[in-house]
Amino acid sequence: MTPVVDPVLVKRERMRRFSKLGIRVGMGLFLLASVLFFWAVANRFTPALANGAAFCLLAGSVLLAPAMVLKYTIKAADRADREDSW
């Protein structure tokens, strides 16, 4: 007998993995932007370093915002399943 797999739970788990990846990459880009900025302040502030830091901030924001919304959406769905409050 094969176990029954709920496709909604499978999709939710896949979205959870995408969310974790987006948060890690977004936070990593924020860290890289900070490193680039402080490196530029400590050394010669070049346009390349400023552009790199700005790009990292922009890309991090684009990745991080939807990943965080998805994370809390999944948490709410899990809580609704647990409490049976749909």
Note the pLDDT tens digit of each residue in 28-41: 999 999 999 999 99
Taking Cα atoms as reference points, which of 30, 18, 33, 8 lies closest to residue 66? 18
Residue 1, token pair as written in the block: 């007998």
pTM of the predicted model as reported, rounded to 2 decimal places: 0.83
For residue 13, what pLDDT band results from cuts at 50, 70 and 90?
very high
Give me the mean pLDDT over the 5-25 stretch: 94
